[in-house]
Amino acid sequence: MIETEARTLLRGASLRVTRPRVAVLSAVHEAPHSDVSTVLSLVRTRIGTVSTQAVYDVLKTLVDAGLARRIDLPNSPARYEGQSRDNHQHMVCRSCGTIADVDVPHGSPPLEAPQDHGFAIDHVEVTYWGLCPGCRTDRGRQDPKSVH
């Protein structure tokens, strides 16, 4: 994402345009599924000195404004990606932690809870877990029982 696009998105969300916000928004679009340390590194490459707390604050602001999405996975630091307005879900490798997007076909009905317990459901997240191709290959090499 180029800076002019980031500035336009920030203005469209009625957010003040600042160098850290532009840099963080650009980073989460260019490196989806990044943790805070990766975003921080990318931002520092772009604008130089910026505090870790400033990046956390900007990420929270972007998520609250709907410009970024926070991905919370068990036993993993929060990950971030630019909000794409599509309805994708995620696949996660149990071994290396790689995250890949899974497209939900356009027009597919949203998942519904079997019982809503009185909730007004506004969002559903599905995470698929398994082994990525690289880890499956590595496991095959390590586990003689898996060789036929």
pLDDT single digits (tens) 22-44: 999 999 999 999 999 999 999 99
pLDDT band at 143 (very low <50, low <70, confident <90, very high): low
> Taking the complete model, does pTM exceed 0.85, yes or no?
no
Q: CA 116, 121, 126: angle at the middle one, nearest 5? A: 95
User: What domain range includes position 121?
Assistant: 86-148
Last residue of a domain, one of 61, 84, 107: 84
Q: Are 27 and 79 in contact (CB under 8 A)?
A: no
Beta-bridge mates of residue 127: 90
Domain with 142 in it: what CATH number? 3.30.1490.190
Higher pLDDT among residues 147 and 113, named by residue: 113
* Shared domain check, 63 and 2: yes
pLDDT digits (tens, 9 = 90+) for 59-115: 999 999 999 999 999 888 999 999 876 778 899 999 998 999 888 777 666 667 777
Evaluate the CA torsion angle 30, 35, 38, 40 in order and state its sign. positive
* Shared domain check, 126 and 141: yes
Question: What is the end-to-end Cα distance of the chain in Å, rounded?
Answer: 47
